[in-house]
Structure 1
């Protein structure tokens, strides 16, 4: 981090801001600044294309805000593109950007965990002779690590270690349940019934969060001599409810939870007593449904609170936790991710290797991928 801020400071001191043209399409937005600690011609000539899977995703919006600010501080001209959850749209945007003179691709892949989709974009970058930095959404399937990231010298990934959030969430939930077991057991049957909201079926983050959020919680709960968590709907053998659009949306979670609460109630003796969500958007949707049913009204309000856990630590989730409506979340560090991306982008703009002077970052050493940076998660409960 010190290296980045030193570079950013020298960039801002050496050059003044200049304006850049606006995007040509509604799906793009632009920003710029100039400067360089070394290789000023390279930095001033840099033209960065940043491709987001969807502007509407709350967490991705926080990354976009942070990344826009840090690219400007580093003196890098950039343009943002909204893939609108469509891989074909994103591919076409990348083609157009390369034709228009983009010198660096920063890509939040629409089809998460697809080595085919990622390889196609990497090949476009390789053919154009420009670097590509993937971020946030996995570019390779489990067991295929290095298929894309090891096939092109001028490529990198900045994201998270997928299982980590699930493990951390599971540990947070497990300890909370042990500490509050009797209060949570609303129907007095000696066990805790939970609902799980997965998000995207193929997303590796969603897969691991779904698995470890429950498994790790049960390890702690059973070690304390309590029965393992029980999924609320015995007829659902998957053990989760899925956003069929793959958007991790508050709306989908709200609709599911509203339906759940029409059938599973304290009066019926089968109340859902714990809610686990793979992101904060879905947690917010569940809380809205709970509010409508008279639960989770906040600190100092009448009524009971069903523990709700999410992932991302968005600003709105933090406020819900502060208000006593949500129990906890796992912070996915948008600022840290933006900082690492900008550091690599600054290396590229200065004519350096993408991974120059990045030894301080955590890498995927298990798969011997020095060009894969992990940004750590953090537990957050207020």
Structure 2
């Protein structure tokens, strides 16, 4: 298949559904765009399960919505008007995409809140995500309501809703194991919630009556596929740091809020264009930025000629002072009075390592079948900073302690 033919096939959901799984075997490494991304998500999630073309269209639509390819999702809906359900909206981590948000691992939940006039809001929370209030019709984040404006719907309140995935139903639709507790939202809509995200689905009233397993086939087994570069290959920016550390967990500084003694231009540019993390936590360890109050202008180098960047509380009576060289930008640490020793090649690398821990949390704690979050995480941090995985260096013992929060411990820290 030529690149032109490949692009044309995936650009048309109608053509893709028509050729079926046999028409997309042994694909070349490149080409296919947004359609191939959505297709790879559907195939990976189904993991060989046999479904009809109509049901596969539902999963293709889901993959497009999860990835934010709303225009392509619209094309799928036009091409498959008989698909049994569609995705209204999804805040979901795609398979193979290592993103900081959503991360609903550990203690987490979603509540339906009702107003006296029948309006609904969703309150989403987790130990790793600030509380989000969402419009259930669109998934758009909205301000928290005033006290008393909405009340939480009781868990056992009788609410009618469609049963999309019923093992006793002759339609026999495929249901992921983690989609256990549908929450009815009225009409033909239900919500599913799990550590990878939250999604609202709608039963398609125009779907063809009768069993959907007619002509059911496996659409193959494969992994995710993406058109663009990975997060490790693109520059840091403020939006990315805000996604990882939250709005109140990062800070954009001005030039006059940085130490006057800091002459390393890349470090200064990072602080004023992308920002710096004010706070980081993983396992029992925390990091606090020393410059977050905007009063670091007069900060002077210490006896080793280094500027204090921040402090790790690694454990009880175990403290690491993070230091940056004002001219070269190299990052060092003094741990419990010992050092300084090299810790990261520069400030950007240091920030990237912290951000990478947050980006891989969900995939390490709640991976999809066949997803290797821990392996990919260790590979990425090793490429970022070899010191972090070099057992012969004092830096390794610190980074190993931080990395253990997601590769050895649970979301609860044990």
TM, length-normalised to structure 2: 0.29
More RCO (CA 8 Å, sep 6+): 1
Relative to its length, the structure with more strand (as a share) is 2
Relative to its length, the structure with more helix (as a share) is 1
Larger radius of gyration: 2
TM, length-normalised to structure 1: 0.31
